[in-house]
């Protein structure tokens, strides 16, 4: 996420734009042409095109390069799909979207999943658009997420007290 602007950038390079996924990338970028930035020949130009400080973006690229070299991304615990990003660079502006399932699992007031008989299933929680009772709007679902989070924390505390 870029500050408090409500969006973030997905950055990709030559391997993705001209590799096996080129057709999919072309479809996505064509459909979202107004949100596409690039091509850029270097990180400094990319940063300028995105309105980001070049030293900050270079630090991100350096950190990612270290993860690629190590074969492990310690920040996110992943080892798959770590590949060097080569110019030309492109970036696609991503905006948060709230999906609504119009279905989902049934929960009680604390967000515990309910079984077919309507009884709460111990230690299984859900909230947001995955829950059948969710409503339109990020604020309402965010509030329910806080309620569920508190219920989970309370259950964890109770479990710790019983040990």
Q: What is the pTM for the complete model shown?
A: 0.57
pLDDT for residue 2: 45
pLDDT for residue 1: 42
Tokens describing residue 119 = 């009884």
pLDDT for residue 124: 93
pLDDT for residue 163: 61
Residues of the chain with pLDDT under 50: 1-3
Which of 9-29 are b and which e, b meaning 16 or more Cβ less than 10 Å from the residue's Cβ?
A: bebbbeebbeeeeeeebeeeb
C-beta separation of 41 from 88 below 8 A = yes
Interacting residues of 95 by C-beta distance below 8 A, sequence separation 6+? 6, 7, 35
């Amino acid at each position: 996420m870029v500050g408090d602007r409500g969006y973030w950038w997905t950055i990709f390079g030559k391997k993705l734009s001209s590799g096996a996924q080129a057709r999919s990338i072309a479809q996505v970028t064509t459909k979202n042409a107004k949100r596409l930035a690039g091509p850029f020949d270097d990180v400094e130009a990319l940063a300028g095109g995105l309105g980001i400080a070049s030293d900050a973006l270079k630090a991100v690229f350096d950190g990612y390069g270290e993860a690629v070299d190590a074969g492990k991304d310690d920040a996110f615990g992943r080892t798959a799909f770590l590949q060097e990003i080569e110019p030309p660079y492109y970036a696609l502006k991503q905006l948060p979207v709230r999906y609504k399932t119009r279905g989902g699992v049934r929960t009680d007031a604390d967000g515990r999943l309910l079984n077919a008989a309507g009884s709460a299933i111990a230690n299984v929680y859900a909230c947001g658009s995955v829950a059948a009772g969710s409503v339109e709007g990020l604020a309402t679902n965010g509030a329910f997420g806080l309620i569920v989070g508190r219920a989970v924390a309370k259950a964890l505390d109770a479990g710790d007290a019983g040990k």
